[in-house]
Amino acid sequence: MRWFTTEEIDNHKQKQLGFIIVGGLCFSALSGVGIYFLEAGRLLMTGDASNPVFLQTQSLTTRILVGIAMAGIVVGVCITLGGFVYGIMEDKKKNLGIPRLLNRARIIARYGIDSNGNYVSNETQFDSHHDLRFFVRMTSPGEGSLEYECSKSVFYDCAEGTVGDAEIQGQWIRRYSAYQHMPETPVGISF
């Protein structure tokens, strides 16, 4: 049995959430199109546009189809809203969880992002930017390549190309300690 990395699991969750949201929108749209066709058919048959199809008493079949289509719109909107709420809740708890230790974590890249969303990789520019958030991309056996947020002090401990132990909580690096007397390795070399 193949074990999936954390990176693959996160990518899979994001795809599922996208399919849920888009699926809910499509379900609502198709239900709306169904109501449109029922109404258009009634207009072609009767020529009376004064009363919408769902207010008229027609055959039982038509009333059931209209009810199903209207319920489809409501269900589709609920699925979409549920997907949005789930995504927001997952994002809020991304830094929660039980702390775990990643052994042999290799630092691939580190950078900051300012309050405007600008990417800052030159450390000499860190003082000129306000409200910088610090990020480190690392890879480790069993985890894949993931991006973690960290504090400024931990950011400076994470030198690119070093290998060490990282204490992770959710998507937050609590601590990183590089292995001593180990040469820095090029990022492209695998474990």
* pTM (2 d.p.): 0.58
**79-to-20, 31, 115 alpha-carbon distances in Å:** 7, 14, 32
Q: For residue range 8-28, what is the model confidence (pLDDT) as tens digits?
A: 777 788 899 999 999 999 999
Q: For residue range 170-189, what is the model confidence (pLDDT) as tens digits?
A: 888 889 988 887 665 555 55
Q: Tens of pLDDT along the chain (191 residues)?
A: 555 666 677 778 889 999 999 999 999 999 888 877 777 766 666 666 566 555 555 667 777 877 888 888 899 999 999 999 988 888 777 767 788 888 888 998 888 888 787 888 887 777 777 788 888 988 887 777 788 888 888 988 888 888 899 998 888 888 998 888 766 555 555 54
Separation between Cα atoms, residue 29 and residue 24, nearest integer Å: 9
Nearest CA-CA partner of 35 in 49, 50, 51, 54: 54
Burial (CB count <10 Å: 0-12, 13-18, 19+), residue 56: middle
